Amino acid sequence: PARSPAGTVPARSPVLAGLLLVKSAKMARYMNEHVWGIHVPDDLINRFERSGDARRECVTVTAELIRAVRGVADGMHLYA
């Protein structure tokens, strides 16, 4: 296989996407305020606030993210 210029890793290493399941608007706001490096967009927080079923919205949002990342990542790791 091809090697990177440094010669330490393959030029095409597999990518595993880590997806943290946002379970509620409260969780999203907490992450924005307290978890460095994470930003949950306001429109996503609003979706949870408008949703009558946060669990269903979590599944819907996660499925959307998986579809969006599918062509880029070689696999997914879901953080529940």
Tokens of 52: 């009558």
Quote the pLDDT of residue 13: 80
Each of the 80 residues of the chain gets a pLDDT tens digit; together they read 555 566 666 667 888 999 999 999 999 999 999 999 999 999 999 999 999 999 999 999 999 999 999 888 999 999 98
Among residues 48, 49, 77, 55, the alpha carbon closest in space to that of 65 is found at 77
Quote the pLDDT of residue 12: 75
Quote the pLDDT of residue 7: 60
Quote the pLDDT of residue 1: 52
Quote the pLDDT of residue 61: 95
State how far Cα 30 lies from the chain centre.
16
